[in-house]
Amino acid sequence: MANQNAAPGARVRNELDESIAADHVRDMFNSIAPTYDRLNHLLSFGLDRHWWKKTARKFQTLLAKPESRVLDLCCGTGDMTAALIALRPAKGVPVVGLDFSSEMLQRARNKYASANAEWVEGDAMHLPYPDASFDLITSAFGFRNLSNYAAGLAEIFRVLKPGGQLGILEANQPDGFNGLLYNLYFHHILPAVGGLLSGHKAEYRYLPASVQRFPRPPKMLQLLSEADFARADWDGLLLGAAGIYSAQKPGN
Ligand SMILES: C[S@@+](CC[C@H](N)C(=O)[O-])C[C@H]1O[C@@H](n2cnc3c(N)ncnc32)[C@H](O)[C@@H]1O
C-alpha cells in the first residue's frame, strides 16, 4: 500500500537526514546514467517521448515567446529540455536544463550539443537564481526524487515570476484494477528487467518504491495549493500511471 505520509520526500534507504537522502539519489543517478536512456525508453514502451512532448505542448504559448525564461529542473539526459526547445523560436532565450548528477548532465550536453540550451549542474532544492527569474519551470520524472516535496515547491515558487507557470510530469500509482496491473508490471517485471539489463538491481527497486511513496494526485494538489500556487490541476495519462501537474504563481 502507498504510504503517502511516510516521508516529506524521496528516500533511497529510509534516511532520516534529507541531505544524505539527496546524496544517495545523486549517487544512484550517476551510477545508472550510462544505461538510463535505453532502459527508460524500453521500460516505458517508448511512451516517455510522447509524454515529454505532451507536457511541452501545454505551455506552447509561453514557449513561443522568444523572451520567455524557461527552466527544466532535474533535466537528466535532457529529453524534456529538448521537447521544450522544439517549441521555442530559434532566437529565443536558451532553455536552462538543471540537474545535480554530473553523469546525467554530461549525457545531455553530448546529446544536445547544438541545442539552444544552457546546461547547469545544480540542486533543485537550492536553485542558483534570484527570486522571480523564470516564466516557466518544468520537471519530468524528477520532482519525485526531491528529498522534501514541500520545500521543493517553495523553491520553485520563489524563482518563478509572478504569473509564471509550473509543469510537473510524474509517475503515479493508480488505484483499483488499474493499480493491480500497474503493481504487477511496476513492482515485479520492471525491477527485474531493469536490474538485469542495467546491472543495478537496487536502483531499479528504488523506482517503484519512490512512486509508491510519492503523493497521489489529491495530496499533491493540496501541497501545490499550500505552497500558494493557483490553478493547480492534474492531467492523468495511461490510466493514471503518470500525469502532468500544472499550476501558476499568482500575479500579473
Ligand atoms: C528519473 S530522472 C529524469 C530525467 C529527465 N527529466 C527525464 O525525463 O528523463 C531524475 C533526475 O532528477 C535528478 N535530481 C534528483 N534530485 C535532484 C535535485 N535535488 N537537484 C537536481 N537534480 C535532481 C537526478 O539526478 C536525475 O537526473
13 Cα to the center of ligand 1, angstroms = 18
CATH T-level assignment (fold) for domain 4-248: Rossmann fold (3.40.50)
What cell does 247 get?
499550476
Distance 252 CA to ligand 1 centre (A): 30
Q: Which residue has the cell 534570484?
A: 130
d(CA 32, CA 76): 11
What are the pLDDT tens digits along the chain (252 aa)? 444 445 599 998 888 899 999 999 999 999 999 988 988 888 787 899 999 999 999 999 999 999 999 999 999 999 999 999 999 999 999 999 999 999 999 999 999 999 999 999 999 999 999 999 999 999 999 999 999 999 999 999 999 999 999 999 999 988 877 777 777 877 778 778 877 887 777 777 888 888 888 999 999 999 999 999 999 999 999 888 899 999 999 997
Chain center to CA of 134:
17
Q: What is the pTM of this model?
A: 0.93
Query: Which residue is closest in CA terms to ligand 1's atom 27?
Result: 76
Predicted local distance difference test score (pLDDT) of residue 1? 41
What span, in angstroms and rounded, lies between the C-alpha atoms of 204 and 191?
Answer: 5
Give the per-residue pLDDT at 39. 83
CA of 92 to the centre of ligand 1 (A): 25
Decide whether any atom of ligand 1 lies within 6 Å of the 100 Cβ. yes
Domain boundaries, the chain: 4-248
Ligand 1, residues 74, 77, 101, 169: which to mutate, most atoms within 8 A of Cβ?
74
Q: What is the rounded CA–CA span in Å between residue 24 and residue 18?
A: 10
Nearest Cα to Cα of residue 191 among 206, 179, 177: 206
Q: What residue owns the CA closest to ligand 1's atom 14? A: 74
- Whether 141 is in the pocket of ligand 1, judged by its Cβ within 6 Å, is yes
**SS3 label, residue 157:** helix
| pLDDT tens digits for range 212-251 | 889 999 999 999 999 999 999 999 998 888 999 999 999 9
125 Cβ closer than 6 Å to some ligand 1 atom: yes
